Amino acid sequence: MSIEQKLILLNGVYEIYYKFIHSWTLACERFCATCCTCNMTLTTLEGYWIMSSLEDAPKRNLLHAIHAAKGRQRFQPKLTINQIAELCRDDREAPEEPMDPGWGACPVLSHQECPIYPLRPFGCRCMVSKVRCDKTGYADIDEFVLSVNNLFLQYIEHIDTPGMSGNLMDVLCFFESDSNQNTYSRGKRLENPEYLIPNSPIPVVMIPPWHRERIQPILRSLRELLG
C-alpha cells in the first residue's frame, strides 16, 4: 500500500471517529489543555503526516520546542495496543508501564493551544471528557467511548504496519531526518531506534462483551473503509 493510500485511510478513520464523538456531549473546548501531557503517543503514519504537511517555519518551531524538552521524562511505550491485544488473546498479562501526567505538559503547546491541532494524532483526538479536567484533575471518559477509542487505535496501528509507534516527541524527531521521511514514504522497512517499537496487525479486536453489539456499526464502517 502506498503512503498516499495510507494517508487517505488515516483521514477516513479520523472522519468516522469525528462523526461518532460529536454525537456526545463533552466538556472539551478551546484553551482546555489539562490532558495535553508529554506522554502522548502516535504511529509513524501520523508523525509522517504532521511533518510532511508543515511549512518550514512552523516545522522548525515545532522541533525547537521538542528538542528543548527532550531531556524530560516521558512515556515511551514498550508495547503497542495490538501487541497488548495479542497478549490478552493468549491470556497473558501485559506488563505495567509507568506513565505520570505530572511529568509535564506537551512541549508542542503554545499559550494553552496546539499549533498543529488540525494535524493532531488520534491519541489527542480521543482524549475527551464529560467534565472539565481542570476542575476534577482527571478526564471522565465514558466506558463505551474508551472501547471505541481502543478499536480506532488498533485500526490505525494496523494501517501503519510495518511502521512504528512511540512518544510524540520521539516520532516527530525521527522524521526530522529527510532520509527517514524518504525511506518511510517509499514503504521501506525502518531501522528501529531503541525508543520506537514496531507496529503489528490486529490479532483480535479488544471489545468487551457488553459493548460488542453496540459497537458493530462503527466496526462495519472501519472494515468497509479498509476494504
Residue 197, C-beta contacts closer than 8 angstroms, at least 6 positions apart: 77, 78, 79, 80, 83, 164, 165, 166
Is the confidence at residue 217, as pLDDT, over 90? yes
Residue 13, C-beta contacts closer than 8 angstroms, at least 6 positions apart: 122, 152, 155, 156, 159, 222, 225
Model confidence band, residue 14 (pLDDT cutoffs 50, 70, 90): very high
Is the confidence at residue 214, as pLDDT, over 80? yes
Residue 221 has a pLDDT of: 97
Mean pLDDT of the chain: 90
How do the domains of the chain map onto residue ranges? Answer: 3-226
> ∠ CA(204), CA(46), CA(120), 5° rounding?
110
Model confidence band, residue 220 (pLDDT cutoffs 50, 70, 90): very high
Is the confidence at residue 26, as pLDDT, over 80? no
Sheet with 164-167, strands from edge to edge, namely: 41-43, 164-167, 197-198
Q: How far is CA 114 from CA 106, 109, 124, 189, in A?
A: 9, 5, 10, 31
Model confidence band, residue 3 (pLDDT cutoffs 50, 70, 90): very high
What's the average model confidence in pLDDT over 84-91?
Answer: 93
Is the confidence at residue 78, as pLDDT, over 60? yes
pTM value is 0.94
Model confidence band, residue 27 (pLDDT cutoffs 50, 70, 90): low
Is the confidence at residue 129, as pLDDT, over 90? no
What's the average model confidence in pLDDT over 143-166?
Answer: 96
Bigger pLDDT: 157 or 162? 157
